């Protein structure tokens, strides 16, 4: 927080529709007098000692501000490019991916009243990247699970539940098959649950969770679900589908020190530069950021204005069935503030 009473936040506008949707966030935030000063940084990869890296200034900015809002980054097609998203995750040790999935009134899907939260372990498990050919035609991929990473994400899940007033944490696993790896995850979850007596803890097999969720997601409404990497990757997109797809889904990547909040969707090159993008997912990610920073009043005010604008259905973007341009939608949210 600076002497002017404002918090500096790193802004990675990103590629494609990134700058357009970031503009909506900036406009709405200045209209709502949110005490935030944006520090825009460029994360276009540079070549350093033969490797593509994120510019040092961008890393320094996030390290200084602790919090960043990020638009989508296009992953260059072709060999040898590490995904920038993965690089950011590794650089800042963003160990937990948080995805709230809440039905949006005014955007009808086959499911009503969904309101669940998924927390995915973000650093290891099936995505450790340890793969090799044993002999021709036989490939081994190693799922690495450590006590340290399990404990970190599980503790975060319990703490998160407590902070947002949810009373139940459920671990999602396949410890029946992956007895040792998921078994470790599950046993640490049970151990830790004792430290949180106010929170009810239980566990469920992943296949069972999928079946039950697509049948009726509402029993998951009071819960925080926490799970290893691959399960979280798949289940969180399934949950996004329940509420209307990736265009509306926010997320937060939480690290030891720094956290980066971002929309779940990509850079939408097919509509970039045309003023057609829906900024809601990035806006809702910024709301998660405000809550993370303890700026709850501003978060509530802007969130209400967003939901009101969508529920009215008069000024919504094409992906939601409307005709509004990105800036017209943002103006409607500003009027609703």
Q: Which of 277, 289, 306, 310 binds ligand NAD (CB under 6 A)?
A: 277
DSSP string, 67-82: EEEE---PPPPSTTPP
Contact flags string 300-329 toward ligand NAD, x per CB under 6 A: -------------------x----------
281 binds ligand NAD (CB under 6 A): yes
The Cα 285–Cα 282 span in angstroms is 5
Q: Which of 266, 275, 311, 322 binds ligand NAD (CB under 6 A)?
A: 266
125 binds ligand NAD (CB under 6 A): no
Among the listed ranges 53-61, 95-103, 112-120, 270-278, the one in contact with ligand NAD (CB under 6 A) is 270-278
Q: Which residue is nearest to ligand NAD (CB)?
A: 266
Q: Which of 257/270 has CB closer to ligand NAD?
A: 270
Minimum CB separation from ligand NAD for residue 289, in Å? 15
Q: Which of 271/332 has CB closer to ligand NAD?
A: 271
Minimum CB separation from ligand NAD for residue 77, in Å? 7
**233's tokens:** 């990757």
The Cα 274–Cα 292 span in angstroms is 32
Q: Which of 58, 265, 283, 299 binds ligand NAD (CB under 6 A)?
A: 265
262 binds ligand NAD (CB under 6 A): yes
Q: Which of 228/247 has CB closer to ligand NAD?
A: 247
Region 201-260 residues binding ligand NAD, contact defined as CB under 6 A: 246-247
Question: Cα dihedral sign for 179, 184, 185, 188?
Answer: positive
Q: Which of 8, 85, 128, 218 binds ligand NAD (CB under 6 A)?
A: 85
The end-to-end CA distance of the chain, in Å, is 25
Contacts 24+ apart (CB under 8 A), 312-321: 312/106, 313/106, 316/106, 316/278, 317/276, 317/277, 317/278, 318/276, 318/278, 319/245, 319/247, 319/278, 320/106, 320/107, 320/247, 320/278
Region 5-64 residues binding ligand NAD, contact defined as CB under 6 A: 17
Q: How many helices (H) and strands (E) does the chain have?
A: 10, 14
Please check whether residue 142 is in contact with residue 130, taking contact to mean a CB–CB distance below 8 angstroms.
yes
Q: Which of 73/175 has CB closer to ligand NAD?
A: 73
Please check whether residue 237 is in contact with residue 262, taking contact to mean a CB–CB distance below 8 angstroms.
no
Q: Which of 75/218 has CB closer to ligand NAD?
A: 75
The Cα 320–Cα 243 span in angstroms is 12
Give the total of residues touching ligand NAD (CB under 6 A).
20
Q: Which of 87, 259, 278, 286 binds ligand NAD (CB under 6 A)?
A: 278
**Binding residues for ligand NAD, per CB under 6 A?**
17, 72-75, 85, 246-247, 262, 265-271, 277-278, 281, 319
């Amino acid at each position: 927080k600076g002497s002017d009473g404002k918090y500096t936040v790193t802004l990675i506008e990103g590629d494609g529709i990134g700058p357009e949707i970031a503009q909506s966030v900036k406009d709405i935030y200045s209209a709502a007098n949110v005490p935030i000063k944006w520090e825009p940084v460029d994360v276009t990869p540079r070549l350093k000692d033969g490797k593509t890296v994120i510019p040092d200034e961008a890393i320094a900015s996030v390290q200084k501000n602790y919090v960043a809002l990020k638009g989508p980054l296009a992953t260059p097609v072709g060999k040898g490019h590490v995904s920038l998203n993965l690089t950011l995750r590794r650089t800042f040790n963003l160990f937990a991916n948080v995805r709230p999935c809440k039905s949006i009134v005014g955007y009808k899907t086959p499911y009503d009243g969904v309101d669940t939260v998924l927390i995915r372990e973000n650093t290891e498990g099936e995505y450790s990247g340890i793969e090799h050919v044993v002999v021709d035609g036989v490939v081994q991929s190693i799922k690495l699970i450590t006590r340290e990473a399990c404990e970190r994400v599980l503790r975060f899940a319990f703490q998160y539940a407590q902070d947002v007033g949810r009373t139940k944490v459920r671990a999602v696993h396949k410890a029946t098959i992956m007895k040792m790896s998921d078994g470790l995850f599950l046993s640490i979850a049970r151990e830790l649950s004792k430290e949180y007596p106010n929170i009810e803890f239980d566990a469920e097999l992943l296949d069972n969770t999928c079946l039950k969720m697509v049948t009726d997601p509402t029993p998951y409404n009071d819960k925080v679900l926490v799970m290893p990497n691959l399960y979280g990757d798949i289940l969180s997109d399934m949950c996004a589908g329940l509420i209307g797809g990736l265009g509306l889904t926010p997320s937060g990547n939480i690290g030891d020190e720094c956290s980066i909040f971002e929309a779940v969707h990509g850079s939408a090159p097919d509509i970039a530069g045309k003023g057609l993008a829906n900024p809601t997912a990035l806006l809702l990610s910024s709301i998660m950021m405000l809550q993370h920073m303890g700026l709850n009043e501003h978060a509530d005010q802007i969130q209400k204005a967003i939901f009101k604008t969508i529920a009215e259905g008069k000024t919504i973007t094409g992906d939601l069935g409307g005709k509004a341009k990105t800036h017209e939608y943002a103006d409607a949210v500003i009027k609703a503030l």
